Amino acid sequence: MTPQSVQLRGGRVAFWLLALPPVGGIELSVSLPVQVETALCGQEIRRPINSTLRFNQSYDTTVTGQRAAALVKWLEDHGTELVAVPLWAALCGPAEDRSQYRAAAWVAMSGDYCRAEVFTGTLPAWVTPDDSVAPLVFGTLENRSVDDPDGGVSEFAVEHVERSEPGLAVAIRPFTEPVGPVVSAGGAPALSLCPFLLDGRSVRESVSEEIDREEIGFGREPEEHRDRPGVRELQVAAVATSRTELARLLSFFCERSAAVPFWIPAPIEASAPALKLGDWLAYSTPGRAVEFGQVRSITAGVPVVFPERVPTADTFVSRLMLMRFRSDSLTVQQRDPRFASATLSLREVPAVEDHGGRTFVGEAAGAVQPRAWLYEIRSDVWVERMTSHDVPIPFEDQLWVPAPVTHGQIGSSVTGLRDGVRVQLGASVSELAMLTIARKAPARLGVRIIEATLGRSGVLFSETVFTGEMEAASLGGVTISITFRPWPVVSSLRLPRCRIQPGCNHAIYRPGCGLDPADWEFMATVSAPGAPGYPFTFGLAGLAGPETVTEANWFAGGWVEFGRDKISIRSSTAPSGGALTVTLARDPREFPESGASLKLFPGCDGRWETCGPKFDNALNFGGHPHIPTSNPSLVKLSPAVNGGKK
């Protein structure tokens, strides 16, 4: 172990270098976390939440003599320091092309691995063609024991887990992959064909079913319900016979993880189901690109494929399957620098059928744009901006830096107000949070939580989902937990049932307000249901009701009714020709089809300016629009003092 440092854009980073070569094979685990959401209609939505792979390496190495004693001493004296280990799967000669990997630092190692030097630009002068180079992965060592440190040869099982700031991450350049058929009627971009040779002899097949079971009463037989048929899952081996092929495999996984589907020819034809309309056939000929055609009709059990393909004697015909990775992690076994294998766990993306009887394989499935959470913590004029994403995000002319921060569920009261949220963050990432724990913060902490959808050029759109002030903070180990409320903590005290405040004390359409929802019922039909999941936006047409609506957000704060399902309206556009767009709080429990009818009820923000002009209900306004700044219903109590002599 030798101390090193490297100069990055944000400053110099100190670390320890472990460049002992592996003896035997290497197990490389990579992951790209994916956020999984399930809409109320049952549609599964998957969002990648990082942009670079995380590398974990496990292998055995040997160390002798004094180097073994020094290693044992280092493991005893150091625990959480940053350790850099070569990415052995990317090991190459100094003259070979290194463009497949982009890294903050590389290491050059002599042929006998007795000399190692970290570099960021040009190769060190002492490097010869017999030496090797590799990108560095920064993290920590999990195993801290050395076998037989007093003997001649000691063994050390390296378990290196990547833990570092985003600027130190190793990235893999994307490869150009062959494309498969276009499955969307809207002309969406075609999905890729898997470029790897899959070992059909290694295939393990299963069917995954999701069945809801619930015991009602004291009966022996539970109530069962299955929303959709079972989905095929495959486990099949992929082999890489060169360093470039392994980089391509890792890049392919990084670009898709468990979110983006891709096509594969069925590795085993015997277990493939009978062909049906809409299926795609793959024609695989050695030395040629995979061709494909779609089954347009079946006559006497014989499929008619368009475009027509005439297979040759050495052409393998199979069903083309749309798959995705079942998990957001992948394990690669490398037994030799020129040979690596990985078991791909795949899940078939089910077909989607429209109302015209046409079948589009996986049209509504796959990844959506990645999501990031942005956190702004403020105390007086002191502001900290951070994100839970793995790379910095430019937003609002500011740079939101990555940090270990997360939040729990945002609670909602029966009136629709958000009651509060608990934010957890690392003790070392927020100086304001540490000052609050020490009771030295300049003012009470405030927070703004923003939900942002990311694109290649930055934030596509964003929504502030919570703002509030701190109620309580606690420190547990290295984690600070802060509870925020959308109003000062004084509101949690016992207050009068009717407050003296500018806003109305009544809930719309409730006693006190006096409005009858039947008098404010609007009708419309769904013209553009879109895809299930966030941002829950629906296009409507044929708006009709008791009033002529010309303003945006006229229905915000109200609700829509899809049958018996009531859903809050977050925002609405200004109607034009009876057409408008509404953003709901969630998907309907039965996702609507185009042409479905619904009811809309406008909402109220409780202001005097809204009650009169919008609803003509000023006589029932339950607030005090001319209240002074000092609220008399929240008078500070003073202790009573009894005077006099006994």
pLDDT in tens, 192-217: 888 877 776 777 777 776 666 666 65
- Six-digit token pair at 93? 């000669």
What pLDDT sits at residue 132?
93
Using a pLDDT cut of 70, give the percent of the chain over it.
80
Cα dihedral 377→379→383→386 (10° resolution): -20
Tell me the per-residue pLDDT of 433-458, one tens digit each, with 9 for 90 and over.
988 888 887 778 889 999 888 876 78
Mean model confidence pLDDT for the chain: 79
d(CA 149, CA 63): 9
DSSP state of 197: -
What pLDDT sits at residue 191?
76
Can you give the residue ranges of every domain in the chain?
Answer: 2-172, 198-209+230-361, 371-492, 517-620
Q: In 3-state terms, what secondary structure has residue 435?
A: helix
- Six-digit token pair at 24? 């035997």
d(CA 14, CA 87): 19
d(CA 183, CA 359): 9
Tell me the per-residue pLDDT of 135-155, one tens digit each, with 9 for 90 and over.
999 999 988 888 875 667 888
Residues shown for the chain: 646
- Kindly report whether the peptide bond that precedes residue 535 is cis, defined as omega within 30 degrees of 0: yes
Cα dihedral 292→293→294→297 (10° resolution): -150
Identity of the amino acid at 349: V
State the pairing for strand pair 398-402/382-387: parallel
State the pairing for strand pair 83-86/11-17: parallel
Tell me what the mean pLDDT of segment 112-128 comes to: 89
Q: Choose among 534, 527, 525: nearest CA to 599.
A: 525
CA distances from 296 to 103, 187, 304, 312 (A): 49, 18, 6, 22
Residue 23: pLDDT above 60?
yes
Higher local confidence (pLDDT), 644 or 525: 525
Tell me the per-residue pLDDT of 384-425, one tens digit each, with 9 for 90 and over.
999 988 778 889 888 898 888 988 877 665 444 446 888 999
Residue 103: pLDDT above 50?
yes
What pLDDT sits at residue 138?
93
Name residue 571's beta-bridge partners. 583
Q: In 3-state terms, what secondary structure has residue 633?
A: helix
d(CA 139, CA 370): 25
CB half-sphere exposure, 198, CA atoms < 13 A: 21
Q: In 3-state terms, what secondary structure has residue 62?
A: strand
d(CA 239, CA 218): 53
Residue 606: pLDDT above 60?
yes
Q: Choose among 192, 128, 604, 533: nearest CA to 371.
A: 533
Tell me what the mean pLDDT of segment 41-53 comes to: 68
Higher local confidence (pLDDT), 313 or 62: 62
DSSP string, 7-37: EETTEEEEEEE--PPPSS-EEEEEE--EEEE
Cβ–Cβ under 8 Å, residues 502 and 580: no
Cβ–Cβ under 8 Å, residues 539 and 533: no
Residue 270: pLDDT above 50?
no
CA distances from 275 to 75, 299, 356, 369, 634 (A): 60, 12, 20, 33, 73
User: Out of 117-126, 159-168, 263-272, which region has the weakest mean confidence (pLDDT)?
Assistant: 263-272
- pLDDT band at residue 126 under the 50/70/90 scheme: very high
- Six-digit token pair at 316? 């393998």
CA distances from 452 to 66, 111, 232, 257, 389 (A): 54, 49, 34, 21, 11
What pLDDT sits at residue 485?
83
What pLDDT sits at residue 391?
77
d(CA 538, CA 535): 9
Name residue 56's beta-bridge partners. 29, 161
Cβ–Cβ under 8 Å, residues 444 and 460: no
What pLDDT sits at residue 360?
40
d(CA 56, CA 138): 10
Tell me the per-residue pLDDT of 67-96, one tens digit each, with 9 for 90 and over.
888 888 888 888 778 899 999 999 999 888
Using a pLDDT cut of 90, give the percent of the chain over it.
11
What pLDDT sits at residue 216?
61
Q: Choose among 561, 569, 572: nearest CA to 586.
A: 569
Higher local confidence (pLDDT), 171 or 151: 171
Cβ–Cβ under 8 Å, residues 279 and 305: no
d(CA 19, CA 545): 74
d(CA 4, CA 16): 6
What pLDDT sits at residue 361?
44
What pLDDT sits at residue 42?
52
d(CA 558, CA 71): 66
Residue 358: pLDDT above 60?
no
Residue 603: pLDDT above 90?
no
What pLDDT sits at residue 10?
59
pTM beyond 0.75: the answer is no
- pLDDT band at residue 28 under the 50/70/90 scheme: very high
Q: Choose among 603, 518, 508, 504: nearest CA to 552.
A: 603
Domain spanning 517-620 has what CATH number? Answer: 2.40.30
